[in-house]
Amino acid sequence: MREDADYRRQSLIDAAAQCLAEKGVAGTSVRAICARAGVSAGLLTHYFSGIDELIRETYRDLDRRVSDALDAAVAAADEDPRAKLGAYVTANFEPPILDPELLATWIAFWSLIRTEPAIAADHRNSYAGYRRGIERLLAECWGDAVPEDDIRMSAVAITAMIDGLWLELSLDDSAFTPGEASAMAIKWLDSVLDRSAEEAAE
């Protein structure tokens, strides 16, 4: 049945993500993944051409999960454009995106970016997708009042701010809480939105 095939394929993807989080790239092998998934090694090559394809699909799956969580946060927010942008930003400091195991998996993927062109390409596409999402939300906030290039650079800055707070919080949550991260991010975001709008009006 198709459902069973999808389940087995997803179980291998989930097992690969868990292995990458726990063992890193060096400890992630066909044997380790299949043992984690509770299947024979031959099943992996039935669904994927090999471990490289599985790892790439695992990256894409993880990226989809993060994107879905962000989209859900925006959809649940008030219709006000600033509320939607704020929901997008603060969702990064809440489960399922704020997760120590997710950090460990991302670290494994980041280690592959410089050596695996396919993963590097996926990373570029992923980053561009997040940035475009922020650009759209910024454009809704500002309308035509702010130049397109300013919107692009603001999206880059917001992405960097999110990544920095998320990384520090994931590495060590003793310095500040998720709630404080959200508050800092919204305060900074409000200053960016107001300042850019004022500059455009001058």
Q: What is the CATH number of the domain that holds 164?
A: 1.10.357.10
Q: What is the model's pLDDT at position 101? A: 86
Structure-token pair, residue 28: 């992630």
At 166 the three-state DSSP class reads helix
- For 192, counting Cβ atoms within 10 Å of its Cβ (0-12 exposed, 13-18 middle, 19+ buried), the class is middle
78-93 core/surface letters (b: 16 or more CB in 10 A; e: else): eeebbebbbbbbbbbb
Domain hosting residue 169, numbered range? 59-201
Residue 104 counted as domain residue: yes
Residue 152 counted as domain residue: yes
Structure-token pair, residue 172: 């060590």
Q: What is the model's pLDDT at position 198? A: 63
Q: What is the model's pLDDT at position 129? A: 95
State how many domains the chain has. 1
Residue 41 counted as domain residue: no
Q: What is the model's pLDDT at position 145? A: 83
Q: What is the DSSP letter of 129?
A: H
Residue 15 counted as domain residue: no
Residue 121 counted as domain residue: yes
With DSSP H G I counted as helix, E B as strand and the rest as coil, what are the percentages for the chain, rounded to 5?
80, 0, 20
Ordered per-residue pLDDT tens for the chain, 202 residues: 555 888 999 999 999 999 999 999 999 999 999 999 999 888 999 999 999 999 999 999 999 999 999 999 999 999 999 999 999 999 999 999 999 889 999 999 999 999 999 999 999 999 999 999 999 999 999 988 889 999 999 999 999 999 999 999 999 989 999 999 999 999 999 999 987 656 655 5
Q: What is the model's pLDDT at position 41? A: 87
Residue 40 counted as domain residue: no
Residue 8 counted as domain residue: no
| Number of Cβ atoms within 10 Å of the Cβ of 6 | 11
Residue 39 counted as domain residue: no
Structure-token pair, residue 38: 């509770």
Helix and strand counts by DSSP (H, E) for the chain: 9, 0
Between CA 90 and CA 68 the distance in angstroms is: 14
The phi, psi pair for 55, rounded to 5°, reads -65, -40
